[in-house]
Amino acid sequence: MIPTAADLAADHAAAKAVARETPLLESESLTRATGAARLCVKAESLQRAGSFKLRGAYWRLCGLTGEERARGVVAYSSGNFAQGLALAGREMGVPVTIVMPADAPEMKRQATEGFGAKVELSQHGDRPREEAASDLARRIAAEQGLVLLHPFDDPRIVAGQGGAALEAMAQMGAVPDVAVSPVGGGGLMGGTALAVRAANPQAAIRAAEPVGYDGMGQSLAVGERRKVSGGATICDALQATMPGEAPFAACLTAGVQGVAVTDAETAHAMRVAFEELKLVLEPSGAVALAAVLAGKVPVAGKTVLVMASGGNIPFARFAEIVGEARGLRE
């Protein structure tokens, strides 16, 4: 259930076949504003397909048998895992079907189809959209004989996503005192937590989530997985109502603690990332930075690693959110 440090290293080495090395960005003004000794932002928004998801998706497909690759796979996703899996499938010649909620961003659906995947839309009504999409994916897997993949609740996915943190620490030339990652289902957080904890047993590792979808933080606080109620949020990719079993186990083992951020704090972080780092982040990709900027993660005098997980957002929506946010110097 919990990948080892050797697993993470092997997975990261394999994923280099398709994943690019993304930049590690630093800003003197952000470092001063937060009081950190050093503040490093890992720009996974500049990964192929616009997020870190390609890393874990590729490693998961590497674990398929030849017969399973020929049959193809199906998964559900609101967009980022969809794109990462579609690209990984194209690179490996594996047919991919993605179930996406009907109200998922149109840009993400079009990009997923552009990578060659077949997209099926799910209608969720009053149900959590993740549940409706998951149910449809299971039906398609059974009816069409496809391999059902989970977007985050899989030890291989967790291990694959940990490559982003391993890469970041190599670029830093140091181990962080504090590491903060966005959390939806928890794949990136689980992989990041394991990688950072192995490098620094004393590091403070924080899971950043939107208010209302802080299932990982609430679950870690009580030591068992809890379901949350959800609600409206601009973070469309972080609407899982319960953390995955595999990511939760990784985070619990690594001693992760949770923090929740508001939409206003996330929008502010998006604007700061644009102004100070010249980085375009979708809301879900900015929540870790939001937690640091809002003072919800103590960073004074610390070396800090912030995971900026994705940048898949239409220009009009980005301009709308950022235009309403308060800038760093305002």
CATH number at residue 289: 3.40.50.1100
Both tokens assigned to 42? 């890992």
Query: Model-level pTM?
Result: 0.94
| 305 falls within a domain | yes
| 138 falls within a domain | yes
| Final residue in a domain of this structure, among 87, 121, 148 | 148
| 329 falls within a domain | no
Tell me the C-alpha distance between 235 and 215, whole Å: 14
If asked whether residues 299 and 274 sit together in one domain, one would say yes
If asked whether residues 258 and 304 sit together in one domain, one would say yes
Give the per-residue pLDDT at 330: 43
Host domain of residue 24: 5-48+155-324
If asked whether residues 17 and 95 sit together in one domain, one would say no
Strand, helix or coil for residue 195: helix
293-330 tens-digit pLDDT: 999 999 999 999 999 999 999 999 999 999 988 654 44
Tell me the C-alpha distance between 291 and 177, whole Å: 16
**C-alpha pair distances (Å), 162 with each of 16, 68, 180, 187:** 13, 25, 13, 8
If asked whether residues 304 and 167 sit together in one domain, one would say yes
Both tokens assigned to 317? 């929506």
Give the per-residue pLDDT at 326: 62
If asked whether residues 162 and 268 sit together in one domain, one would say yes
Categorize the per-residue pLDDT at 125 as very low, low, confident or very high, splitting at 50, 70 and 90. Answer: confident
If asked whether residues 143 and 190 sit together in one domain, one would say no
Residue with the bigger pLDDT between 128 and 107: it is 107
Closest CA to 55 of 23, 30, 77, 81: 81
If asked whether residues 40 and 91 sit together in one domain, one would say no
Mean pLDDT of 26-40: 96
In this structure, are residues 22 and 50 in contact, taking their beta carbons and an 8 Å threshold? no
Max alpha carbon distance in the chain (Å)? 58
| 128 falls within a domain | yes
**C-alpha pair distances (Å), 147 with each of 138, 143, 236:** 9, 11, 26
Mean pLDDT of 17-42: 97
| Final residue in a domain of this structure, among 97, 117, 148 | 148
| Final residue in a domain of this structure, among 148, 169, 194 | 148
Residues written for the chain: 330
If asked whether residues 42 and 103 sit together in one domain, one would say no
Categorize the per-residue pLDDT at 229 as very low, low, confident or very high, splitting at 50, 70 and 90. Answer: confident
Tell me the C-alpha distance between 171 and 180, whole Å: 17
User: Side by side, which strands form the sheet with 118-122?
Assistant: 118-122, 96-101, 73-76, 147-148
If asked whether residues 164 and 204 sit together in one domain, one would say yes
Q: What is the total count of domains within the chain?
A: 2
Categorize the per-residue pLDDT at 225 as very low, low, confident or very high, splitting at 50, 70 and 90. Answer: very high
| 292 falls within a domain | yes
Closest CA to 99 of 86, 82, 116: 82
| 193 falls within a domain | yes
Instruction: For the chain, give the mean pLDDT.
Output: 95
